[in-house]
Amino acid sequence: MIIMQAHKLRKEYRQAKSKLEVLKGIDFQVNIGEVVAVVGPSGAGKSTLLHILGGLDEPTGGKVLLDGEDLYRIRDVERARLRNEKIGFIFQFYHLLPEFSALENVMLPALVKGDIKRSRSASGPSSLLAQIGLKNRIRTNPASCPAGNNSA
pLDDT digits 0-9 by tens, 97-113: 888 888 888 888 777 77
CATH number given to 2-86: 3.40.50.300
Q: Where in the chain is the domain with CATH 3.40.50.300?
A: 2-86
Burial class (CB in 10 A: 0-12, 13-18, 19+), 105: buried
Give 16-72 pLDDT, tens digit per residue.
Answer: 889 999 999 999 999 999 988 899 888 899 999 999 999 999 999 999 999 999 999
Q: Three-state SS string across 117-151, please?
A: HHHHCCHHHHHHHHHCCCHHHCCCCHHHCCCCCCC
Closest C-alpha among 136, 133, 106, 109 to residue 122: 106
- Quote the pLDDT of residue 150: 42
Find the mean pLDDT for residues 123-143: 80
Is the Cβ–Cβ distance between 96 and 109 less than 8 Å?
no
pLDDT score for 62? 97
The sheet with strand 69-70 has its strands ordered as 18-31, 2-15, 61-66, 69-70
Q: What is the pLDDT of residues 60-103, one digit of tens each?
A: 999 999 999 999 999 999 999 888 888 877 666 667 788 888 88
Between 109 and 149, name the one with better pLDDT: 109
What pLDDT, on the 0 to 100 scale, is given for residue 46?
Answer: 92
SS3 state at 48 = helix
Per-residue pLDDT at 1 exceeds 60 = yes
Residues 6+ apart with CB under 8 A from 74: 82
